Structure 1
Amino acid sequence: MHPYQEKLAQDIRELIKHPNRALLFLPTGAGKTRVTVQALVHAFVEDGLTGPLLWIAQREELCEQAVQTWSAVWRQFGDRRPLRLCRLWSRNEVASSDDEVMVVIATNAKLDVCRDKDDYEWLSDPSVVVIDEAHEATGKDYTATLRWLGLDSRKTTRPLLGLTATPFKGTGEEANKRLAARFNNRLLDALGDDPYGILQAQGVLSRVEHRVLDGANVELDATETEYARKTGQLPQGALDRLGRDEARTLRLLDDIASLRDDWPVLVFTSSVLSAQVLAALLRVRGIDTAAVSGATRIQERRRSIEAFRAGSIRVLTNCNVLTQGFDAPSVRALYIARPTFSPNAYLQMVGRGLRGPANGGKKECLIVNVEDTFGQFGERLAYQKFDYLWERQGSRLR
């Protein structure tokens, strides 16, 4: 592990020895899942930790990523005891067990169902609770789950560790206070005030060349404007209108087609239709491309993602499914064609291209932001808040 990872791993083990709450921050690509799992494996082996340990994530892809990490790390650092690794999501069920090393990886949606069943009373008493992508952990569903686990605003009956690449929730002060309070206002951070600069210098994160591509103009009505102000996100109707803009789509098509033919390219689009149309147009130009979205069947989505990782697909377009938990270190160019006013949502997207050579990624990554305008809605697009990420500023592309 890198020195910053070793420090965080030790902090995690101390948190378990002296039960408390904390939110661990590492930028995407810096290994927060690996660091956490390795620290917990050492706690099982050396510190007397026993199961069940409960690991919670929002989506199945994040859960499966955690399963794979636990399996690999236990093989490398575990002892002779068997690891009982349980998937608790979708139609999967898990029974109680006397195994000393038991890890239950669950979606919060599944726990929402399980916590009312007598058969899962045993799971309400885990040794440790870990929440992945913990900036989402302030909603009513998480509050109910944590109360069931003995973790409410007044008591902490077991260690609670949150993991995040963005230790804030949007730009609202009150929302950020609620997030901090959920983890007792304790942040595990080994990188200080300039985490991206430090990790780029170490080669952990890639250096970024930045360009801006002209987008389209969309007028928001009063209801859409209010929604955007409250949420930091554009309403889906406005995103759909962006996706149907022919000139915008052709600019994206021409720019992607102009890149070197050995560059893996990941594109975040504004709608399912725009992901599908752009992928079809790229295939017409002879570029191997797949499109994935929430409407894509899970097995088909997994096949497309694996083909992209393996290099048999050069461009992967997606609508709102690869913002978290997606790991493809080979990404050489990233297009943000899904505008957002939320710094959190933006960092989730841009983080897919930041893995550097020290962590198996690329030395450099091109990030192209599509700059759309929204009439009377005056807030700036989120990418404009992150000039410190860019190693080189490219030209505006029209």
Structure 2
Amino acid sequence: MFELRDYQSETIDNIYSELKQGKRSLVVQQPPRTGKTVIMAEIARRTTAKGNRVLFIVHRIEIVEQVIQTFKQQGVNMDLCKVGMVQTFTRRISKLDKPDLILIDEAHHVLADSYMRIVNNFPDAIKLMFTATPYRMSGQGFEEVADGLIEGKQVSWLIDHKRLSPVDYYAPKSINEKLLKTRKGEFSNKSIDEAIKPKIYGDAVKHYKKIAKGTNAIAYCHSVDSAKKLADEFNQSGIKAVEVDGSTDAQDREQIITDFKNGKIKVLTNVELFTEGLDLPGVDTVIQLRPTQSLSLYLQFAMRSMNYREGKTAKIIDHVGNVERFGLPTQDRHWTLKSKNKRSKKKKTDVVPVTVCSQCFSTFYRIGNECPVCHAELKVNKAEIDVDENAELTKIQERKKARTIRLQKMMKDEVYKNIIGKSPADLKSMAELKAYAKLHNYKDGWVFYQAKQKGLIRIR
């Protein structure tokens, strides 16, 4: 059996606490690389140990066997637990045994008709819906399927407590975003082909050699053809690389992953194969060559390299400006079940814009009007990022200095000392909620929502 980590046990305790209060359908948020499957396996073990049935829903065939193995290792009674794809279950819904508990993986997909058909068919079952990002590009919320939300630890907390590796983020922009066009909310492959500069594959190899040479890297491309071209470019440069995609034979893929883990292959190029759910051990560097409008996909891309190892600093190389759309993967994020106003002019993810110095091309969260690296003067209210194709890569700088000063001032107040290291589920009073909101730059509406959920205020 797996030994649960402290934050995983905390999440499980929070889930059972909500269920005891009468909740029946919960969205459970856990950042990527923090063991959602292990948490679900422990809940399934406890459920089947009491003789109750579990239905576990995934959306990709590659994940099924991986989940089954994890569940068996955790001691789940598989005679009472059925694991399968949503596409299969929705076609055979009349043949399914009535579950007492439904577990849904990557639950930001749950509002799709195929999921809803299953959920609605078993109204008496408890539903636990796990996702790293309870967020949809359409802005549609999850209120119709969930009566509660459990938020996991922030990525910054997980890094500070050595549960995830710290990361250096590099953003050499090699794409003309003006040529990108959307189709069904996401950038089309045709427009990406037109927007990506011809030399991008050579650039990717050059930058890998400069800042990540010798590390195991995975590159996310937008098409099989682009993934093969990139692998060829690496191989021609003397770096062993292999392209792998959904059509790769299962046995061949298993051998490729083994060779990658053992260092025989240094770079894997792929098209979304190693994103949601599918495990790939030993990744130190991520190379992003596929622009996306999906926050979920971005975090899955970016955080793939952040599994913790003592002394490790993960590296992310973003050639397509994803960081400009979503901010750093390490920034604190607050989640809600509520729908977003589609007409809002605010960015959907409330991204703090990054800035690129026109002198040294360092990329950072802006503080004041001076570059923190070369001390050049920055233009006030600069809206567009200037990119020199010949510029060398520079690392994105976190806002550590300003945050440290701010925290030092706050720590003089006893209420702030009491909330350090806590999650929203741990907060017990209005004072703690207000302090937590100020500490994390949350709006007043967050305090009101949390207080209402905890019964600290009542609306007549």
TM-score, normalised with respect to structure 2? 0.66
Which of 8, 11, 24 is the equivalent residue of 1:8?
11
1:264 Cα deviation (Å)?
0.5
Structure number with the higher helix fraction is: 1
In structure 2, what residue type is equivalent to 1:58?
H
CA deviations 1:101-141 (Å, max 9, x no partner) are: 4211110111122125xxx1xx2511211000000111111
CA 1:136/1:276 → structure 2, altered by over 3 Å: closer, same or farther?
Answer: same
Residue in structure 1 matched with residue 36 of structure 2 by the alignment: 32
| Uncovered stretches (5+) of structure 2, i.e. residues with no partner | 333-353, 355-361, 365-372, 374-390, 394-460
Residue in structure 1 matched with residue 64 of structure 2 by the alignment: 63
Residue in structure 2 matched with residue 50 of structure 1 by the alignment: 52
Which range is displaced more, 325-334 or 381-390? Answer: 381-390
Matching of residues 155-234 of structure 1 within 5 Å? 157-170=124-137, 172-173=138-139, 175=140, 177=141, 179-184=142-147, 186-191=148-153, 195-217=154-176, 219-220=178-179, 224-225=181-182, 227=183, 231=185, 233-234=186-187
Of structures 1 and 2, the one with the larger relative CO (CA 8 A, separation 6+) is 1
1:67 Cα deviation (Å)?
1.0
Residue 369 of structure 2 is aligned to residue 368 of structure 1 = no
In structure 2, what residue type is equivalent to 1:240?
D
Which of 339, 348, 358 is the equivalent residue of 2:300?
348
Rg larger in structure: 2
Residue in structure 2 matched with residue 134 of structure 1 by the alignment: 107
Which of 234, 240, 249 is the equivalent residue of 2:193?
240
1:209 Cα deviation (Å)?
0.4
Question: CA separation in 2, counterparts of 1:362 and 1:141?
Answer: 44
Residue 83 of structure 2 is aligned to residue 115 of structure 1 = no
CA deviations 1:308-359 (Å, max 9, x no partner) are: 23332111111121111132342111111111122222112112112223xx
Question: CA separation in 2, counterparts of 1:190 and 1:293?
Answer: 31
Question: CA separation in 2, counterparts of 1:250 and 1:266?
Answer: 16
Which of 307, 310, 328 is the equivalent residue of 2:259?
307
CA deviations 1:158-210 (Å, max 9, x no partner) are: 1101111112123x43x1x2x243122x111243xxx0111010111110101
Residue in structure 2 matched with residue 104 of structure 1 by the alignment: 82
1:58 Cα deviation (Å)?
0.4
How many equivalent pairs are there? 336
Which of 331, 334, 351 is the equivalent residue of 1:388?
331
Question: CA separation in 1, counterparts of 2:60 and 2:195?
Answer: 27
Paired-residue identity, %:
22
Question: CA separation in 2, counterparts of 1:167 and 1:40?
Answer: 22
In structure 2, what residue type is equivalent to 1:236?
N
CA deviations 1:68-99 (Å, max 9, x no partner) are: 2101111xxx6xxxx33xxxxxxxxxxxxxxx
Residue in structure 2 matched with residue 377 of structure 1 by the alignment: none
CA deviations 1:250-295 (Å, max 9, x no partner) are: 1112122335543101111122111101111211222121111234
1:385 Cα deviation (Å)?
6.0
Which range is displaced more, 64-73 or 287-296? Answer: 287-296
Question: CA separation in 1, counterparts of 2:43 and 2:169?
Answer: 35
CA deviations 1:34-93 (Å, max 9, x no partner) are: 122123213433xx2423x1100000122222112101111xxx6xxxx33xxxxxxxxx
Matching of residues 276-291 of structure 1 within 5 Å? 276-291=228-243
